[in-house]
Chains A and B, each alone.
Chain A
Amino acid sequence: MAQTFKPYQSVGQGLNPLKLPQGYALQESKNTMNVLSQGLNRMSDFAFKQASVFAQIEGEKWGVENAPTLKDVKQANKLGDDPFSMFDNSVFGRTARASALKVLENEIIVTGTKTMNDLVYNAEKNSLHPNDLNDGLNAHIMGLIEPIAVNSPALASKLKAQFLLKGAEEFDKYRSAHAKATATSLGIQDRKATNLWLSELSSGIFNTLYNENQFTNEKILSQKDILSLMLKNPSADYTKAEVEAKIKNGGEFDKAVVSFLKDKIYEQVLTMPLAKQNEMLNKILDGDATGNGRLDNALKISPMNSSERENIVNSLSNHIQRLKNDEDWKEQVLETERLDQVEETKKAFRKATKGEINYEEAKEAINKMYTLDHEEGDKLNADLDGAKGGKYLETDYNNIDVRVFLDRFKDKVPTYEDLENISPLLSQEEYEKWDKIIDLHKDKRMKIAMGDIEIATKYDPTAKLIEDDEESELRKLKYKELKMKLERSVLEATANNIDLDIEARVAELTEGVAEELDGKKKELDLENLKSYLNTMFKPNLSKWLESPPEEDLEIAQTVLLKLKSIKRQYDTKEIKETEANRRLREISPAVNTGSLLNQINRLKEAIEAIN
């Protein structure tokens, strides 16, 4: 029997393996963090680099500002401190330390170089041996380098090399120069000896020979031979040209001979009287005997040829002329000084006589002037005599009391008391003048004459009430004028001892005065009228005057008539006030019916005053 049961056939499906997420999100998240981290790192690196650069700049500045000096370094070394301890191991600190070391390096170079130069200069000045200089330089270099070797061996090493190089260079230069100087020193001494011998020829050997009357060609040539030997000294190393310049004819030796003789000729001539000097000069020029045997013999030597004689004589002649010119100049100076003193003395005299006279000083000035200039002395004396023993040589017109007095008594006569009060301020001459005037007015005839003048001028100087107008002023002026003229006439007559007829003189002075004053018053009135017309009416006259008259008085009369006409018409009410004012404005804007009467009266008065 066939099997009918069909067994279950499995589909063969087990559990599938799980395909779980592979963590891409986490991986990318990790990448994100990495990217963020890298970005931030880049930024922070950049910021740190910038900060580092800034720190370097600041550090460099700080290092320069706070760099220890060489002195600080030495001091710190002594105390066992580190002078660079303030610089830490940061960027700032390192840069600051580097710049501080640079500053220190510069200071050491400057100090070191200066000291080395000083050492070389001192060595040159004191001619030290080169080895001494070398020792000094080395000691100096070691002294400079040692303090910094502790703190900065690299800088110390660099500076040491630099200074040793410079020291060696200086030493080498000095050694060469020293060797050369030593070689030339002897030669210089020999040359100095030769030059000294030459310069002392005149005062030494030549003088002796001259005094012993041995100044001959033979003796002079022997001295020249000695000079030749000196010039051949090999250490002096004279060149051929130098030797030639000294011993050739007309060379330095011959010039010394001529110069010596020139001095002797000068001595001979200048000690003679002025009148005989020219004669002596001619003798020397011609080679004649001078009367001085030693000089005559000396002048015979060969360097003293005729050309040299002529040169010496010309030079001496000029010298004498200069001396004479100097004398003239001295005289001119003295004369200028004398004139200055004359002026000074005049000034002193004026000072002594200005204001109250100081007789003592004035006389002192006069006495001094007599010693300087007699004529000027007489003048000053006469001036002082003019004071006649009074207090003042001149009246002090700047004094307010004097000015008040003179003004007050222009038209009056002072009393003796008035004069005595002011007398200390007046010159004697002024005082006497006023005294005479007072005396004069005591005279009865004079009083009558003054009365005549008062009548003629209609001016009373004693009047208490004086009208302050132009007419009164005119009369006052005229009175003063006549009074002064009369006083002058009487005083002149008295001074000249002439008998003056005062009455006749007054009649002469007062003749025509009244007419003159009236004429002047009229002129004055007319001027006033003109001024009044100009002020009040002139601006509008042309508007209403058809044919204006040329004279001011006529204009005034025309204006007056017109004003009167308007007033009459206004008073009789022929015209109204408006019309009256209109017509008045045609004459002048300053006039109206209110002031019409006033203007009419003023014009009338002005016209009447002239008429």
Chain B
Amino acid sequence: MVSLVTAGLSAIGGATATAGAMSTMQTIGMVTSGISALAQISAGQQQKQMYEQRARNERLQSRVEAINAKKKGVKALENVNASLASILAGSFRGGIAPDMGTINDRSVFLVQRPGANDYFDTQWNASMAINTGEMRAKDYEMAGVQAQNQGYIMALSSFGNAMMNSQSISPMFQTARA
């Protein structure tokens, strides 16, 4: 793509150099076409910037979502702690060993397992928020590069057409003017 841009710029240079051999209207055509090409390049670059902005937003949004998910994970752990504390307290009061029998089953199946599930869900959510956010940001960045390329291509196309139009005007006419 860089080579396309370089070719386009050298074409503009060449056109300007040969402007001396062209009629006034040809010169006007070539100059306006050049300006149009520059505008198209600028439009492409602005479009790219817009996509980059969106990419940044997506990354930020994904981090916020991850933090919220992690906060929920902490909450789940706090709830697990509170439940486990109540079990421990009940077992000591009842003189029952907390790590065996019903007490232990309650601890494992009614507290630790759902707490762990909740916690891992929140971790998953946080992780996915970051990853998908990054994916979307990359998507936007790639789209931006493409938008910029479109600007270059349209500029080259417009200017190339202008060059061909200019060249298609009779060389005899130009010779006669010279």
- Where the two chains meet, the residues of A that have a C-beta atom closer than 8 Å to any C-beta of B are 4-11, 13-16, 18-25, 27-29, 31-32, 35-36, 38-40, 42-43, 46-47, 50
Contact = CB atoms under 8 A, between A and B. Distances in A.
Given A13-B72, A29-B142, A31-B150, A7 B157 contact: no
Given A8-B111, A35-B150, A15 B160 contact: no
B6 interface: no
Contacts of A14: 121
> What 8 A-B pairs come out closest when comparing CB atoms?
A39-B157, A25-B142, A28-B146, A6-B86, A21-B139, A24-B143, A28-B143, A8-B83
Given A13-B118, A43-B164, A50-B168, A8 B110 contact: yes
A29 B146 contact: yes
A36 B161 contact: no
Interface stretch (B10-18, B20-28, B74-82): B74-82
Given A10-B118, A20-B132, A28 B111 contact: no
Contacts of A10: 76, 79, 114, 118
A4 to B, nearest CB: 5
B30 interface: no
Contacts of A40: 157
Contacts of A46: 161, 164-165, 168
A24 B139 contact: yes
A35 B153 contact: yes
Given A5-B106, A50-B168, 7 more contacts: A4-B93, A13-B118, A16-B125, A28-B146, A29-B143, A38-B157, A46-B168
A4 B157 contact: no
B132 A8 contact: no
Interface string B127-149: 01100110110111111101101
Nearest to B55: A24
Contacts of A9: 79, 82-83
A31 B143 CA distance: 10
Nearest to A16: B125
A206 B93 CA distance: 191
Given A16-B69, A39-B160, A46-B164, A21 B138 contact: yes
A177 B75 CA distance: 126
A6 B82 contact: yes
B87 interface: yes
Contacts of A18: 128, 132
Contact of B80 (A8, A13, A15, A19): A8
B115 to A, nearest CB: 6
Nearest to A28: B146
A368 B74 CA distance: 168
A7 B153 contact: no
Contacts of B122: 11, 13
Nearest to B89: A4
B90 A21 contact: no
Given A13-B125, A19-B132, A43 B160 contact: yes
Nearest to B128: A18
Contacts of A21: 132, 135-136, 138-139
Nearest to A39: B157
A11 B76 contact: yes
Interface in B68-116: 69, 72, 75-76, 79-80, 82-83, 85-87, 89-90, 93, 106, 110-111, 114-115
A39 B154 contact: yes
Contacts of A39: 153-154, 156-158, 160
A16 B128 contact: yes
B136 A19 contact: yes
B121 A15 contact: yes
B164 A47 contact: yes
A9 B165 CA distance: 76
Contacts of B144: 28
A188 B1 CA distance: 99
B136 to A, nearest CB: 5
Contacts of B160: 39, 43
Contacts of A43: 157, 160-161, 164
Nearest to A45: B161
A13 B158 CA distance: 55
A139 to B, nearest CB: 49
B76 A23 contact: no
Nearest to A19: B132
B57 to A, nearest CB: 13
Contact of B83 (A7, A32, A42): A7
A227 to B, nearest CB: 80
B139 A22 contact: yes
A35 to B, nearest CB: 5
B125 A15 contact: yes
B58 to A, nearest CB: 9
A424 B140 CA distance: 137
Interface in B31-48: none
A447 to B, nearest CB: 106
A9 B133 CA distance: 30
B170 to A, nearest CB: 11
Nearest to A29: B146
B121 A4 contact: no
Contacts of B65: 16
B67 to A, nearest CB: 13
Contacts of B133: 19
A22 B157 contact: no
Contacts of A38: 157
Contacts of B128: 16, 18
17 contacts: A4-B90, A8-B83, A8-B114, A10-B118, A11-B72, A11-B118, A15-B121, A16-B65, A16-B125, A24-B140, A24-B143, A31-B150, A32-B146, A35-B153, A36-B157, A39-B154, A46-B168
Contacts of B136: 19-22
Contacts of B121: 13-15
Contacts of A36: 153, 157
B177 to A, nearest CB: 21
Contacts of A4: 86, 89-90, 93
| Among B69, B89, B93, B142: residue with most chain A CB under 10 A | B142
A16 B62 CA distance: 12
A580 B33 CA distance: 103
Nearest to A21: B139
Contact of B161 (A22, A28, A42): A42
Contacts of B158: 39
A7 B110 contact: yes
Contacts of A11: 72, 75-76, 79, 118, 122
Nearest to A49: B168
Nearest to B165: A46
Contacts of B76: 10-11, 13
A569 to B, nearest CB: 91
A19 B64 CA distance: 14
